[in-house]
Structure 1
Amino acid sequence: MNRFTLFVRTMAPGWFAAVMGTAVTSLALTLFSKTFAWAALPAEILHWAAVVMMTVLGAAAVLRLVFFPKAVLHTVSHPVEGAFYATFPIALLVMAAEWTVRAEPLTAVAWLWWPGVVGTFLSSFVILSLLFAGKSLTLDQVTPGHFIPAVGLVVIPVAGAGLAAPAEGLMREVYFGVNMVGFGAGVFMYVGLTALTMARHFLGAPIVGKMTPTLWVHLAPLAVIPLSMLALLHAVADASLIRYGTLVASAFMGAALWWMVIAAVLTVKNLREGKLPFAISWWAFVFPVGALTVLALRLSAMMELALLPWVAAELGALLAFFWTAAAVGTIRGLLNGSILNPPEVKKLTGAVVPQPEAVAAVNAGRDGLEKS
């Protein structure tokens, strides 16, 4: 069995978080390049890296759906892993936002944005319907990873508002309608999910192991919601509303910075106790910090506060650290096969005894391939 076949067979849905993290890092560097010229080159490199990653991972996801549909269904139905399927369309939306900042043609941005919108709405309906109709989650199964479908909905206006602003007639109404539905649904889901995840933090078991990076996912909606709000306000072009919007956005950023301290303390604790092994979930460190960095840069350009550029610079340094750590770990895992051959499926190469659910998923995939 070659490595690509093994990758397709066992592909985790969270792989597209790598595209999200790379695209948002490119976006942040593009904004930094307006002040620091040196940032333009790494922004360009990461831009094309995100394009290549999306192409390869997208092809692998399609192949897995075609040849291993039962394995895909098994993962979608998983109470925790299923939420990560939303990273696929969200990655398209983040790329659309990055392309907007790069001043790419709006037609090209729309070609990314519309599939991302459709996929984000579809994944939110499917994932949540399966959760609501299936067995009840236990408190310890609730993680910040369940924010992902909601985060996708509020990402829609980040690039979508830029498409709505120059549109005319019916298309202007359509763009604004889609943006507002996505934004409203995402905020609504965020409020409910915050209560659930806080209940887990207070009353459930600590989040450790490969799920540790999801502690940082709390930052994502706290950063993306104000970014989308500001984008919509700029599309409406009401100066008074924008002034009030910056105050609201600043409050969200304050909440994100507050939570970041807690997430950092818990992450360091798990790291020191040996409870933070490398996994593809490390990319969950990157996008939330990237989104918060972009928010700090946006507010720096809108508000006359000398402290904000320094905050943005510090967040940018943290973003560079997390992206490098996740990228190096991913490349190393691809080279030595540890990511392609996670412990629960190592029986395929004769290493360890697998878990029953993993065997069922792999067998389901094999049945799908034989029938095809």
Structure 2
Amino acid sequence: MKANRFAAVMGTGIVANAGVTLPVHLEWQRQAAAVVWAAAAALMLLLAMRPKRSDTRNGALPMAIMTVGAGALLAGGGWIGDTTAVALDAVLWSVGTAIGLTTAGVALYRRNNDGPPNPAWLLPVVPPLVSASTGALLLPHVPDAVRPGLLGACLALFAAGVPVAAFMLARVCRAPRTAPAVWIVLGPLGQSATAALLLGEATGHATAALLFALPVLGAALAWACGAAMVTAAAVRRSLPFSIAWWSFTFPLGTVVTGVSGVAAQTGSPAAGWLAAALYVLLVAAWVTVVARSVPRPPPRGGPGFSSLSGWPAAGTGLGSQP
């Protein structure tokens, strides 16, 4: 199984995007999000200049591309200008959607995966849901003539992505509960809820979107509690660092954006504070993983590891695929 370095771009980008969409607003919030977004964009460019075959083997690449694109729209406009941000997001959304549809199609073609169920099977089928949500963010910024087509595409991506993700979730939920892979399950749950809420607002069906999103987010929060217990047990047994640790970031970030969407549409203070609390956990996880990802000199007499170019792939985690 090969690890995908673009998981780091996903995990960094979602910190910026979720920070902007929080219902709790602080004076420095958008500026901090812009810094994190710029880091994600720079990392994506760096990795693109040093490509590896494993980078194209699952859905991390298209999700990273679209996450950076959405970040340009949400956080980067103050630095690069709103017009440039919209144009950049439109290009990255188009590229990411095209690649994501390919990965999802290949995953369905190879639906008879060998071996036991693996949470990494979810990665190739989540990009259409990311396309649906990030495309919905782009809707207010595109010309009127383009808007109906973009909205139709987002609705089609959502309608196709949800049953495929549900099918794969039903298989993956039988997989052994191992950390950090167990957190990947949050990705399709949080992303589908986020997409539903954004599209519900865009189409005037916010109530129907809430009826879909609330139970999905409830399931995500219940799963997160179980995943936290699995992770705590793994830490007690010693959990070695690997690129799989990025599983702690992006999936949780999608739940943050989903809960933030509920807070925005309902005005619920409880949902707002829950989103803020989950975001604090997201930032803590991100800081921890970034700190462990910094390149370190090799120990005397043995190989070290070099951040994004050579993470040891310990266990089954984000970015791995049969």
With structure 1 as the length reference, what TM-score do the two structures score?
0.73
Partner SS for 2:28: helix
Pick aligned residue for 1:122 from 85, 96, 102: 102
**Structure 2 residue ranges without an equivalent (≥5):** 314-322
Q: C-alpha separation between the residues in 2 aligned to 1:190 and 1:343?
A: 29
- Aligned equivalent of 1:213: 180
Provide, for residues 156-190 of structure 1, a one-character-per-residue CA deviation record: whole Å limited to 9, x for no partner: 12121243454444x44432343233212211111
Q: C-alpha separation between the residues in 2 aligned to 1:34 and 1:207?
A: 33
CA contact (8 A) 2:66 2:131 kept: yes
- Aligned equivalent of 1:87: 60
- Aligned equivalent of 1:262: 226
Question: Aligned pair 1:283/2:263, yes or no?
Answer: no
1:34/1:309 CA distance change after superposition, 3 Å: closer
Provide, for residues 87-121 of structure 1, a one-character-per-residue CA deviation record: whole Å limited to 9, x for no partner: 01111111222223235432221011100011101
Q: From the two aligned structures, give the one with the greater helix fraction.
A: 1
Structure 1 position 292, deviation (Å): 1.1
Q: C-alpha separation between the residues in 2 aligned to 1:184 and 1:54?
A: 29
Pick aligned residue for 1:113 from 77, 82, 93: 93
1:230/1:33 CA distance change after superposition, 3 Å: closer
Q: Between the two structures, name the one with larger relative contact order (CA 8 Å, sep ≥ 6).
A: 2
Question: Aligned pair 1:187/2:162, yes or no?
Answer: yes
Counterpart amino acid of residue 198 in structure 1: C
Question: Aligned pair 1:137/2:114, yes or no?
Answer: yes
Structure 1 position 132, deviation (Å): 4.1
Counterpart amino acid of residue 55 in structure 1: L
- 1:1-372 alignment runs, 5 A limit: 12-32=2-22, 35-61=25-51, 64=52, 82=57, 85-102=58-75, 104-105=82-83, 106-129=86-109, 131-132=110-111, 136-139=113-116, 142-164=117-139, 166-169=142-145, 171-200=146-175, 206-208=176-178, 212-236=179-203, 238=204, 241-274=205-238, 276-332=239-295, 337-339=304-306, 340-341=309-310
Structure 1 position 14, deviation (Å): 1.8
Structure 1 position 147, deviation (Å): 1.0
Partner SS for 1:37: coil
Q: C-alpha separation between the residues in 2 aligned to 1:182 and 1:251?
A: 21
Partner SS for 1:35: coil
CA contact (8 A) 1:33 1:40 kept: no
CA contact (8 A) 1:33 1:39 kept: no
Partner SS for 1:199: coil
CA contact (8 A) 1:150 1:187 kept: no
Provide, for residues 253-291 of structure 1, a one-character-per-residue CA deviation record: whole Å limited to 9, x for no partner: 2111111000000111111112x2100111111001111
- Aligned equivalent of 1:68: none
With structure 2 as the length reference, what TM-score do the two structures score?
0.84
- Matched pairs, number: 299
Counterpart amino acid of residue 60 in structure 2: T
Q: C-alpha separation between the residues in 1 aligned to 2:39 and 2:297?
A: 16
Partner SS for 2:4: helix
Q: C-alpha separation between the residues in 2 aligned to 1:144 and 1:110?
A: 30
Structure 1 position 214, deviation (Å): 1.8
Partner SS for 2:241: coil
1:218/1:306 CA distance change after superposition, 3 Å: same
Q: C-alpha separation between the residues in 1 aligned to 2:30 and 2:73?
A: 15
Provide, for residues 311-363 of structure 1, a one-character-per-residue CA deviation record: whole Å limited to 9, x for no partner: 1121011001110111111114588742445668xxxxxxxxxxxxxxxxxxx
CA contact (8 A) 1:97 1:158 kept: no
RMSD: 2.5
Q: C-alpha separation between the residues in 1 aligned to 2:126 and 2:156?
A: 13
Counterpart amino acid of residue 49 in structure 1: A
1:194/1:12 CA distance change after superposition, 3 Å: closer
> Which structure has the larger Rg?
1
